[in-house]
Chain A
Amino acid sequence: MSIRVRVNGVEQELDVDPEMPLLWALRDVLGLTGTKYGCGQALCGACSVHLDGQVVRACVTPIRRADGREVTTIEGLSPDGGHPLQRAWVELGVPQCGFCQSGQLMCAAALLAKKPQPTDADIDQSLAGNLCRCGTYTRIRAAVKKAAGVPDSK
């Protein structure tokens, strides 16, 4: 079955098993390796991407669901790494190993798109599905607020 999907603004036609999770279509077929495999069960959030603007876990999203739709991955979050979140992430030194950070950023970007002035509770709720084994959570909160221009009270 052929699947037509727009990925980071580029039209793609994929001839793959329609049940193949979007994650593997992105990584193995399209070579977009910024989206990570961490659990395969939607438990860790490392594979978070946007499907028509909504965060989905690519590891459990069959590629058929993306047919005719628009996917944005970390590679497409900004043309030059200049999204306010990406800048805040680097300025505050958020990443440690960095592996989970594409997923964290994609969720944070969806959050800011919907709630430009998020509270700590908003951040925690929206990023509750994104595990970071290195433990960068407190910096993630700070960086989301920095990108949003919300003062950090800590």
Chain B
Amino acid sequence: MSQQPVVFTRRSFLEGLNLSVGGLALGLVPTVSAEAAAPGVGAKSAPELRPNVFVHVAADGLVTIVCHRSEMGQGIRSSMPVVIADELGADMARVKVVQAVGDAVYGDQNTDGSSSIRGVFQALRRTGATARTMLVAAAAKRWKVKPEQCEARDHAVYLRGSERSLGFGELVADAVKLPVPKPEAVQLRPLSELRRVGTELPLLDGPAYVTGKAVYGADVKLPGMLIAVVARPPVVGGKVTRFDATRALAIPGVKQVLELPTPQRPYLFQGWGGVAVLAENTWAAMRGREALDITWENGPNVSYDSEKYREALLESVRAPGKPARSVGDVDKALASAARVVEAEYYAPHLSHAPMEPPVALARVEGGVCEVWAPTQHPQAARSEAAKMAGLPEDKVTVNVTLLGGGFGRKSKADFVAEAVFLAKAAGVPVRVQWTREDDIRHDYYHSASAQRLSAGLDAKGKPTAWLHRTAFPAIRSTFSEDVTGPVARDLNQGVLDLALDIPNVRAEMGEALAKVRIGWLRSVNNIFHGFAVGSFMDELAHARGVDPRDNLLEVIGPARHVSVAELGVTALPNYGAPVENHPVDAGRLRGVIERVTELSGWSERAKNGRTLGLAAHRSFLSYVGVVVSVKKDAVGKARVDEAWVVVDAGLVVNPDRVRSQMEGSVIFGMSLAMYGSITMKDGATEQSNFRDYRLVRIVDAPRAIHVDIVRSEAAPGGVGEPGVPPVAPAIVNAIFALTGTRVRELPIIRTVPV
């Protein structure tokens, strides 16, 4: 069991049975942002060592570490503080983890792009190392020795070769008098000295999760608060032409009915508009919404029909598009090929559907605004809140609760904007509660996409040409009006960074105008690019009569760092990381393929009567190989019986959370592969709840998911997303092995019973 101390925070301003007592997992800081850099300030009069905003050491030895990224299931609160504590030499039993408010002083807090560890691993280490350097300097001064003779570990500084030691707390009074060294100037420990990094770490919030004490977005309550449920226009960009609130206001508990502003294009993080019913409890607000009489004007997006759009996307990839990657002469190579293998793939819109629907609480009072929200992007939430409140950002505090899942949905601050608008308009604190129907119908949807892949083979069956066309509405369309489709950097995810040992390669982009709000969803464009490439590799193997594993290794080519020139691109966005630190490493991709096929008994599959599917994918600077075993169940449906995942994410901080992310990726990938589909008719989403937006349940889950982490000291890669892309192609490849039916369209259930 974890030995985390229970975090008590000052919260007399909150009411509610289990919020006012201890056991609260989050240290919500009830202050304005000026104090954000000093969590817990005012609680003690003794000096505290505060070398930076991330780590503080109190005179009683308590170390406070700020987690500036949002916890949404990836275990960041159990991981990031450990990195800082290890650098510092702190004992985790004497560390308090405090959740940061939204504030630029922490740097980028946007918890997506699988960036929390990979993006700031070194910077986090420096924050801990800085505090350590100061404590060591204080001890050295006390002992009149050189700092090099001292060693920080176990929450104390030890004098080497002696019995002498001073606890961190004892050194604080001296350390605060020292100048804070520049982060770049501090010496990081060798990796071998990071004692907990890479070991089995306890789940910080585990006890809170299993006792119902963990605080999510809807669990914070303020005095006088009203709960709002909003009737939103069925079509994005639509508006209210008239409404009658008489019946809604007659429902006991309903207090106010307010109209929300209609968003203007581009939609950005604006609310969706509509009419809000504000009530004393959620039930009354829900009933009130049902009782509203509203006439909508649907606007131009009413023409959106996702089935027609599908055909348009497919048409788009049947014609040449704008090149995004080019090596050699693909046209010539295809024209002279002995054989051409071609296939088209389609994947639909998806909804994030985190178990906790969007929710936010806001109070706008006395010239300040305070928000409590399960946001992945606390600073965006702060900006939106400031806009809505009509206040400067330094008058806005965004407290980040735990997130009941995010998957990209909660990076968007629209629900925070709604709460702040309503709180200001109503003159009381307001919690906006999205229902599941709201969530499914008013999401920032994952792009629908069409792709066409062509490979030319020579007389011996060796691939000589590779042409990949892709068309999908780009995420940028949500932020800018003049977006007509993807640009080269949108193809970073699984197209530009695909290692291919083929002399003639081209990738092209087709046009696709967005008709709904497009957003990023766990692993983003890698979902459909990984699906198409992973499926096509298997098709190519069968066309060539080569084992899919051998084919994959051959097409990827030998272990090497694939240069930008070999890729045929002018630049590689590479998830914001320099290619020098994170090259496109064909060797690591080969490594996960070799390992996952070994673990799954790939070579003996025929002998053992198993039908396996394989796929591997590089994304977010990590490499993941997946094998799934698919069987037919009693009623003839194909089901995933077992899955193997090998992940090379470079250096790993928290192996158990990496394993759990991979396990979760298999389930998430199965949901989107087998069932996931959002369709629109007359501009409105046809699905509404889990009845028609189906997710994998425990009965569908594989008997076992085996995860193997490649041991590595390479710079950390992402973990939250890279497990997802190879899952769908591995499943369709296994289904092909099982049934002989090639699935080229997601969800699989449209082609094969699953």
Q: Do A and B bind each other?
A: yes
Docked Cα-Cα span, A85 to B209, in Å, equals: 12
Question: Given the complex, which residues of A lie within 8 Å of B407, measured CB to CB?
Answer: 133
A40 touches B355 (CB 8 A): no
Chain A residues within 8 Å of chain B by Cβ, number: 64
A93 touches B203 (CB 8 A): yes
Known: A20-B283, A89-B210, A135-B665. Contact between A97 and B698, CB under 8 A?
no
Nearest chain B residue, comparing its CB with the CB of A33: B219
Whole-angstrom distance between the Cβ of B51 and the nearest chain A Cβ: 32
Docked Cα-Cα span, A101 to B404, in Å, equals: 10
How many B residues touch the partner, as a band? Answer: 35 or more
Those of A82-131 within 8 Å (CB) of chain B: 85-87, 89-91, 93, 95-102, 105, 120, 123-125, 127-131
A44 touches B690 (CB 8 A): yes
Known: A20-B283, A41-B689, A97-B403. Contact between A136 and B207, CB under 8 A?
no
Contacts A93-B660, A96-B74 aside, 20 further interface pairs with beta carbons under 8 A come to A17-B252, A24-B282, A24-B283, A29-B281, A33-B219, A34-B212, A34-B213, A38-B436, A41-B436, A77-B211, A90-B203, A90-B207, A93-B203, A97-B72, A97-B354, A97-B404, A98-B209, A101-B210, A132-B667, A133-B407
Which one of B14-22, B27-35, B146-154, B380-388 contacts A?
B14-22
Q: 8 closest pairs, A vs B, by CB?
A: A34-B212, A135-B667, A99-B404, A97-B73, A98-B209, A96-B73, A74-B212, A135-B664
Whole-angstrom distance between the Cβ of A125 and the nearest chain B Cβ: 7
Any A CB within 8 A of the CB of B205: yes
Any A CB within 8 A of the CB of B405: yes
Show the binding face of B for A, using Cβ within 8 Å.
Answer: 1-2, 15-19, 71-75, 203, 205-216, 218-219, 221, 227, 252-253, 280-284, 286, 353-357, 402-407, 433, 435-437, 656-657, 660-661, 663-668, 671, 689-691, 695-699, 701-705
Docked Cα-Cα span, A106 to B701, in Å, equals: 20
A138 touches B355 (CB 8 A): no
A90 touches B699 (CB 8 A): no
Docked Cα-Cα span, A30 to B15, in Å, equals: 11
Those of A35-54 within 8 Å (CB) of chain B: 35-41, 43-44, 46
A17 touches B404 (CB 8 A): no
A20 touches B656 (CB 8 A): no
Question: Given the complex, which residues of A lie within 8 Å of B671, measured CB to CB?
Answer: 133
Whole-angstrom distance between the Cβ of A103 and the nearest chain B Cβ: 9
B1 touches A32 (CB 8 A): no
A125 touches B19 (CB 8 A): no
A95 touches B696 (CB 8 A): no
Docked Cα-Cα span, A32 to B20, in Å, equals: 12
17 contacts between A and B (CB under 8 A): A17-B284, A24-B282, A33-B16, A38-B357, A38-B436, A73-B212, A75-B18, A86-B210, A90-B1, A96-B75, A98-B210, A128-B698, A132-B355, A133-B355, A134-B667, A135-B696, A141-B698
Partner of B356, one of A36, A41, A125, A132: A36
Question: Given the complex, which residues of B lie within 8 Å of A149, measured CB to CB?
Answer: none
Nearest chain B residue, comparing its CB with the CB of A96: B73
Docked Cα-Cα span, A101 to B282, in Å, equals: 22
Nearest chain A residue, comparing its CB with the CB of B669: A135
Q: Tell me which of B281, B354, B355 has the highest count of chain A C-beta atoms within 10 A of its own C-beta.
A: B355
Any B CB within 8 A of the CB of A31: yes
Whole-angstrom distance between the Cβ of B16 and the nearest chain A Cβ: 4
Docked Cα-Cα span, A73 to B280, in Å, equals: 23
A37 touches B357 (CB 8 A): yes
Whole-angstrom distance between the Cβ of B744 and the nearest chain A Cβ: 25
Show the binding face of A for B, using Cβ within 8 Å.
Answer: 16-17, 20-21, 24, 27-41, 43-44, 46, 73-75, 77, 81, 85-87, 89-91, 93, 95-102, 105, 120, 123-125, 127-141, 154
Docked Cα-Cα span, A27 to B354, in Å, equals: 20
Docked Cα-Cα span, A43 to B73, in Å, equals: 21
B205 touches A98 (CB 8 A): yes
Question: Given the complex, which residues of B lie within 8 Å of A16, measured CB to CB?
Answer: 281
Question: Given the complex, which residues of B lie within 8 Å of A120, measured CB to CB?
Answer: 703
Known: A135-B663, A135-B667. Contact between A81 and B211, CB under 8 A?
yes
Partner of B402, one of A30, A74, A97, A102: A97
Known: A33-B219, A135-B668. Contact between A95 and B206, CB under 8 A?
yes
Question: Given the complex, which residues of B lie within 8 Å of A75, measured CB to CB?
Answer: 18, 211-213
Nearest chain A residue, comparing its CB with the CB of B220: A33
A138 touches B702 (CB 8 A): yes
B355 touches A100 (CB 8 A): yes
Q: Tell me which of B252, B696, B701 has the highest count of chain A C-beta atoms within 10 A of its own C-beta.
A: B701
A38 touches B203 (CB 8 A): no
Whole-angstrom distance between the Cβ of A39 and the nearest chain B Cβ: 4
B660 touches A31 (CB 8 A): no
A130 touches B283 (CB 8 A): no
A31 touches B221 (CB 8 A): yes
B73 touches A134 (CB 8 A): yes
Whole-angstrom distance between the Cβ of B60 and the nearest chain A Cβ: 27
B18 touches A43 (CB 8 A): no
Known: A90-B1, A98-B205. Contact between A39 and B436, CB under 8 A?
yes
A95 touches B356 (CB 8 A): no
Whole-angstrom distance between the Cβ of A128 and the nearest chain B Cβ: 5
A131 touches B17 (CB 8 A): no
Docked Cα-Cα span, A135 to B668, in Å, equals: 7
A33 touches B218 (CB 8 A): yes
Partner of A28, one of B75, B210, B227, B252: B227
Question: Given the complex, which residues of A lie within 8 Å of B689, measured CB to CB?
Answer: 39-41, 43
Nearest chain B residue, comparing its CB with the CB of A81: B211
B283 touches A154 (CB 8 A): no
Whole-angstrom distance between the Cβ of A117 and the nearest chain B Cβ: 18
Question: Given the complex, which residues of B lie within 8 Å of A127, measured CB to CB?
Answer: 698
B206 touches A89 (CB 8 A): yes
B212 touches A28 (CB 8 A): no
Partner of A99, one of B74, B216, B665, B667: B216
Whole-angstrom distance between the Cβ of A4 and the nearest chain B Cβ: 18
A134 touches B405 (CB 8 A): yes
Whole-angstrom distance between the Cβ of A61 and the nearest chain B Cβ: 12
Docked Cα-Cα span, A31 to B218, in Å, equals: 11
B698 touches A137 (CB 8 A): yes
B705 touches A38 (CB 8 A): no
Whole-angstrom distance between the Cβ of B225 and the nearest chain A Cβ: 10
A98 touches B211 (CB 8 A): no
Docked Cα-Cα span, A131 to B694, in Å, equals: 10
Question: Given the complex, which residues of B lie within 8 Å of A137, measured CB to CB?
Answer: 667, 696-698, 701
Q: Tell me which of A21, A30, A96, A133 has the highest count of chain B C-beta atoms within 10 A of its own C-beta.
A: A133
Question: Given the complex, which residues of A lie within 8 Å of B71, measured CB to CB?
Answer: 97
